[in-house]
C-alpha cells in the first residue's frame, strides 16, 4: 500500500481529499502545525509539525526524515520555498511531486513572476499608480497579503513600501485551472474551474471544460519548467485572459476536479472523461469525539471583549502577541488601539508603522484596530485629558479584559498610556473587568529603578509563539540582532523562562493591575 503524505491538513478543504485517497487504497499521513484539527481523526496517521521559520527549518526537515512515506504533496507555499533551498536533502526531494527550485522561487515571488509573464508575452494586469488598484506583497499567498485599494493616499503609502506590487483592478470571471505535467514538464491534462462563490476558499465551483482556457494552459506550461500538479489562477474579462498567479502545487479545491474525473494522484495517468458542468457546493460539518487535546480551549476566556492599548505599533506584539493569538483562536473579540506612529521622533523618512497594523491584525487575529497621531516619544507634551478622550472616543464602554503597558516602563509614552487607561476605565457600575500590564523588551527591562513584578501567567502554545514571531517580522526594522533585548531570540527565550516559572513550555507574563469580579 502506497503511503502518501499531505501537509496543512487542518485547512477546511483537506478532509475531502484525504477521504478520496483512502477510498483509492492509499495509506494517508497528514501533518499540520495545529494539533486540534478534525483531519487527525480521518488520516491513517497524523503528525504535529513546526511552523516553518528560519529557526524551525531543520526541525521541519528532521520531521520529514522521521516519517515513512512514498510520496509527499506539499500544500503550503512556505514548504515549497524551503524545499527549493539548498539545505533541503536530495533524499527527500526525490519523493516530492514538485517543480524545479528556480520555478518555485519565480512563482512565489509575485513581483518577479509579474515581470517574467510580461517578458513571455503573457497578459497580466498592468502596474498602476491610480485607484482602484489591487496590491499584493512580494510573497503573498492567495487572499493573504492582497488588498483592493480605493483611496489614492493609501495607495501612495503602500507604493512607498518595499516589496509591493500595485496593478490595475480587473473585474471578470475568475478561474482556477488544475494542470498536471509529467516529470519532464510536458503538459498532460487540465480542468478549468469557475469560481462562483468564495469566502477565502471556494464555496461554489463549476467545472467548465472551456477549450480556450485549456489551450491557454498548454501555452503557459511551455514557458515554464513544471513538474507534477500545478494550478493557474486567471481572470477572463472583455474576451481577454489575465494571468493572476501560478501555484506550483495542488490547489485547495482540487477535489472538484477529482470528482469530475481528473485523478492526478494516479501513478499511471490516463486521459480521463470529465464530467463537464459538475457543480460543487461546499459546506462544513462537525466531527465529534470525547478526546480533547488542548485543554486550554476549555478555559473561561471565551466569547469575551478584549482591548489592547499600545503606545506604538509593535508594543502590542512584543508585549502580548502570543496571548492575543490564543484569545483570538478562542473566538474572543479583540480590539487594538495605538497612539503614535512609532517613528515620528526619529530624523528619518521611515514610514509610519500604522500602515503595518492590517497585516499584523490578520496574523494575530485582531478584529478591529484604530490609530492615534500623538507625538512619538513626546506624549508628555499632551494633556492627560486629551489621551483619555482619545481612548473613550475609540473604544467601547466595557471590556472584559484590558492589556496595557507597565506603569514604570522607561518609555514615557508607555507610562502615559497606562495612566490614561486607568483613568478612562475607572471602576464603575460593578462591571467585571481585569486590567493587565505587559512587559515590553528594551523598555520594561531598561528602567534600573523599577522591577517588573508580574503575577499572572498566560499559557501559550508553540503555534501562538510562532504567530508572535511572524507578526514581529512585519516590524522587522524595529528588531535587533541577538543578544539585544529586542531580538527574536530573546522574545522567545522570555516566554520559555516565564513558562518554566510555572512548569509549562511557554507563557506570557503579566501584572494584574486591577480586577473587578462578579464571581464568588
* Separation CA 512–CA 402 (nearest Å): 10
What CA–CA distances, in Å, run from 351 to 47, 224, 442, 469? 41, 37, 22, 21
Q: Same structural domain for residues 87 and 119? A: no
Residue at which a domain ends, from 246, 281, 316: 281
- Quick check: is 391 in a domain? yes
Residue at which a domain ends, from 75, 96, 117: 96
pLDDT of residue 294: 38
- Quick check: is 289 in a domain? no
State the CATH number of the domain containing residue 462: 3.40.50.10320
Give the closest residue to 322 by CA, choosing from 438, 484, 446: 438
Is residue 70 within 8 A of residue 3, CB to CB? The reply is: yes
* Separation CA 404–CA 413 (nearest Å): 12
Q: Which domain holds residue 205?
A: 105-125+170-281
Q: Same structural domain for residues 114 and 181? A: yes
CA geometry: angle 77, 27, 66, nearest 5 deg:
60
Helix (H) or strand (E) holding 152: helix 152-159
Instruction: Output DSSP code: residue 32.
Output: E
Q: Same structural domain for residues 236 and 369? A: no
Distance from the Cα of residue 421 to its chain's centroid:
30
What phi and psi, each to the nearest 5 degrees, are found at residue 106? -65, -45
- Quick check: is 149 in a domain? no
Q: Same structural domain for residues 226 and 338? A: no
DSSP assignments along 158-199, one per residue = HHTSTTEEEEEPPPSEEEEEEEEE-TT--EEEEEEEEEEEEE
State the CATH number of the domain containing residue 277: 3.30.470.20
- Quick check: is 366 in a domain? yes
Helix axes 384-393 and 412-424, enclosed angle (nearest 10): 60
**Is 434 buried (19+), middle (13-18) or exposed (0-12) by CB count in 10 A?**
buried
How many residues does the structure list for the chain? Answer: 520
- Quick check: is 159 in a domain? no
Is residue 12 within 8 A of residue 28, CB to CB? The reply is: no
Q: Give every CB contact of residue 306 below 8 A, 6+ residues apart in sequence.
A: 324, 327, 332, 333, 334, 335, 399, 400, 401, 402, 403
Q: Same structural domain for residues 213 and 114? A: yes
Q: Same structural domain for residues 369 and 272? A: no
Q: What is the pLDDT along the chain (520 residues), one digit of tens a residue?
A: 689 999 999 887 889 999 999 888 889 999 999 888 889 888 999 999 998 888 889 999 999 999 999 999 998 888 888 888 888 888 888 888 788 889 999 999 999 999 999 999 999 999 999 999 999 888 876 666 678 888 888 888 777 777 889 999 999 999 999 999 998 999 999 999 999 987 666 789 999 999 999 999 999 999 999 999 999 999 999 999 999 999 999 988 899 999 999 988 877 788 899 999 999 988 777 776 654 443 333 345 567 899 999 999 999 999 999 999 999 988 889 999 999 987 766 666 666 777 889 899 999 999 999 999 999 999 999 999 999 999 999 998 889 999 999 999 999 999 999 999 999 998 876 677 899 999 999 999 999 988 899 999 999 999 899 999 999 999 998 999 999 999 999 999 999 999 999 998 999 999 999 988 765 4
pTM > 0.75: no
**Is 459 buried (19+), middle (13-18) or exposed (0-12) by CB count in 10 A?**
buried
Q: Same structural domain for residues 267 and 352? A: no
Long-range contacts (CB closer than 8 Å, 24 or more residues apart) made by 15-22: 15/39, 15/42, 16/255, 17/250, 17/254, 17/255, 17/258, 18/42, 18/43, 20/255, 20/258, 21/265
pLDDT of residue 304: 87
State the CATH number of the domain containing residue 41: 3.40.50.720
Cell of 428: 464603575
Q: Same structural domain for residues 92 and 208? A: no
Q: Same structural domain for residues 411 and 485? A: yes
pLDDT of residue 289: 62
Number of structural domains found in the chain:
3
Q: Same structural domain for residues 336 and 431? A: yes
Q: Same structural domain for residues 412 and 429? A: yes
Please give the torsion angle defined by the CA atoms of residues 283, 288, 292 and 294, in that order, rounded to the nearest 10 degrees: 10
pLDDT of residue 29: 95
Is residue 243 within 8 A of residue 232, CB to CB? The reply is: yes
Q: Same structural domain for residues 453 and 398? A: yes
- Quick check: is 154 in a domain? no
- Quick check: is 374 in a domain? yes
- Quick check: is 380 in a domain? yes
Helix axes 462-474 and 315-329, enclosed angle (nearest 10): 140
Amino acid at each position: 500500500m502506497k503511503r502518501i503524505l499531505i501537509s496543512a491538513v487542518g485547512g477546511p478543504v483537506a478532509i475531502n481529499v484525504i477521504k478520496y485517497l483512502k477510498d483509492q487504497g492509499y495509506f494517508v499521513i497528514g501533518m499540520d502545525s495545529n494539533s486540534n484539527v478534525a483531519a487527525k481523526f480521518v488520516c491513517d496517521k497524523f503528525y504535529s509539525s513546526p511552523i516553518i521559520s528560519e529557526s524551525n527549518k531543520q526541525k521541519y526537515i528532521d520531521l520529514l526524515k522521521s516519517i515513512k512515506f512514498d510520496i509527499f504533496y506539499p500544500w503550503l507555499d512556505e514548504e515549497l520555498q524551503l524545499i527549493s533551498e539548498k539545505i533541503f536533502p536530495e533524499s527527500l526531494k526525490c519523493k516530492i511531486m514538485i517543480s524545479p527550485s528556480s520555478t518555485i522561487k519565480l512563482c512565489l515571488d509575485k513581483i518577479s513572476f509579474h515581470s517574467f509573464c510580461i517578458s513571455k508575452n503573457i497578459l497580466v494586469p498592468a502596474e498602476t499608480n491610480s485607484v482602484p488598484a489591487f496590491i499584493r506583497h512580494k510573497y503573498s499567498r492567495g487572499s493573504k497579503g492582497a488588498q483592493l485599494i480605493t483611496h489614492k493616499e493609501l495607495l501612495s503609502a503602500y507604493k512607498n513600501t518595499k516589496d509591493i506590487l500595485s496593478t490595475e483592478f480587473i473585474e471578470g470571471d475568475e478561474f482556477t485551472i488544475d494542470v498536471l505535467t509529467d516529470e519532464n514538464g510536458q503538459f498532460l491534462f487540465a480542468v478549468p474551474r469557475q469560481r462562483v462563490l468564495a469566502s477565502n476558499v471556494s464555496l461554489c465551483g463549476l467545472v467548465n471544460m472551456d477549450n480556450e482556457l485549456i489551450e491557454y494552459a498548454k501555452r503557459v506550461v511551455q514557458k515554464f519548467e513544471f513538474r507534477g500538479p500545478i494550478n493557474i489562477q486567471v481572470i477572463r474579462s472583455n474576451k481577454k485572459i489575465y494571468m493572476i498567479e501560478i501555484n506550483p502545487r495542488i490547489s485547495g479545491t482540487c477535489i472538484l476536479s477529482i470528482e469530475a474525473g481528473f485523478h492526478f494522484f494516479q501513478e499511471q495517468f490516463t486521459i480521463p472523461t470529465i464530467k463537464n458542468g459538475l457543480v460543487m457546493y461546499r459546506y462544513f460539518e462537525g466531527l465529534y469525539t470525547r478526546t480533547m487535546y488542548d485543554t486550554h480551549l476549555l478555559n473561561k476566556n471565551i466569547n469575551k471583549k478584549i482591548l489592547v492599548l499600545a503606545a506604538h505599533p509593535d508594543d502590542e506584539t512584543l508585549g502580548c502577541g502570543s496571548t492575543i493569538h490564543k484569545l483570538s483562536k478562542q473566538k474572543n473579540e479583540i480590539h487594538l488601539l495605538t497612539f503614535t506612529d512609532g517613528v515620528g521622533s526619529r530624523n528619518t523618512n521611515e514610514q509610519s508603522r500604522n500602515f503595518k497594523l492590517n497585516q499584523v491584525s490578520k496574523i494575530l487575529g485582531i478584529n478591529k484596530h484604530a490609530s492615534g497621531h500623538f507625538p512619538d516619544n513626546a506624549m508628555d507634551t499632551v494633556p492627560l485629558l486629551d489621551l483619555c478622550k482619545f481612548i473613550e472616543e475609540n473604544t467601547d464602554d466595557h471590556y472584559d479584559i484590558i492589556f496595557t503597558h507597565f506603569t514604570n516602563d522607561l518609555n514615557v509614552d508607555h507610562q502615559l498610556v497606562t495612566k490614561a487607561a486607568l483613568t478612562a476605565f475607572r471602576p464603575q457600575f460593578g462591571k467585571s473587568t481585569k486590567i493587565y500590564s505587559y512587559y515590553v523588551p528594551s523598555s520594561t527591562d531598561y528602567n534600573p529603578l523599577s522591577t517588573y513584578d508580574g503575577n499572572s501567567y498566560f499559557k501559550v502554545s508553540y503555534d501562538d509563539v510562532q504567530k508572535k514571531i511572524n507578526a514581529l517580522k512585519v516590524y522587522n526594522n524595529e528588531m535587533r540582532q541577538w543578544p539585544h533585548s529586542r531580538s527574536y531570540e530573546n522574545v522567545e527565550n522570555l516566554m520559555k523562562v516565564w513558562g518554566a516559572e510555572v512548569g509549562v513550555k511557554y507563557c506570557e507574563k503579566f501584572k494584574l493591575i486591577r480586577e473587578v469580579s462578579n464571581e464568588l
